[in-house]
Homo-oligomer: A and B are copies of this chain.
Amino acid sequence: MLENKKYTFEDFTPGTVFHLGPYPVSAEEIIAFASEFDPQPMHLDEDAGKQSLLGGLAASGWHTCCMLMRMMIDSFVLDSASQGAPGVDFVQWKKPVLAGDILHGTSTVLSSRTLQSRPGLGLVQMRQEVFNQRDELVAASENPFFVLLRNKGGSA
């Protein structure tokens, strides 16, 4: 299994940066997501969005998280020996994500350690930043995730 993976624990050294995107955000996607999960007026209707603090048809904050996840998937997660995440330390929604925006971002390794309780497994701490096409920070998050070591006997 590991033979197929480009990135194992050993590759997630602190300071490593993975580039994310581009991810174009369409009005149709904003409305489809909101209709299913977050049907508030500013996520469903251009006029309601313009009248809100968000200033236009704006993606649900959870939609932004999901778009971030998709960008991480396409950048490195599917190429990695990731074993999933136990949660998210925080998400900050800094600016609205509006229909027509094109997102990009970075995932940066903050720290990593092997798990004495689980030989062969490591825990990596990541910070994500998402920007729009004007390079304005729209969202940031940090989370740990579990990843297999290539060398089970090794340590960081």
Contacts and interface: CB of A to CB of B under 8 A. Distances in A.
A18 B129 CA distance: 32
Interface residues of A, number: 31
A70 B37 contact: yes
How many copies of the chain does the oligomer comprise? 2
Contacts of A53: 83-84
Contacts of A89: 90
Interface of A: 36-40, 42, 53-54, 60-62, 65-67, 69-70, 73, 77-78, 82-93
Given A38-B73, A39-B78, A87-B92, 19 more contacts: A36-B66, A37-B66, A37-B73, A38-B66, A38-B70, A40-B73, A40-B78, A40-B82, A53-B84, A61-B87, A61-B88, A62-B65, A62-B66, A62-B69, A85-B93, A87-B93, A88-B90, A88-B91, A90-B90
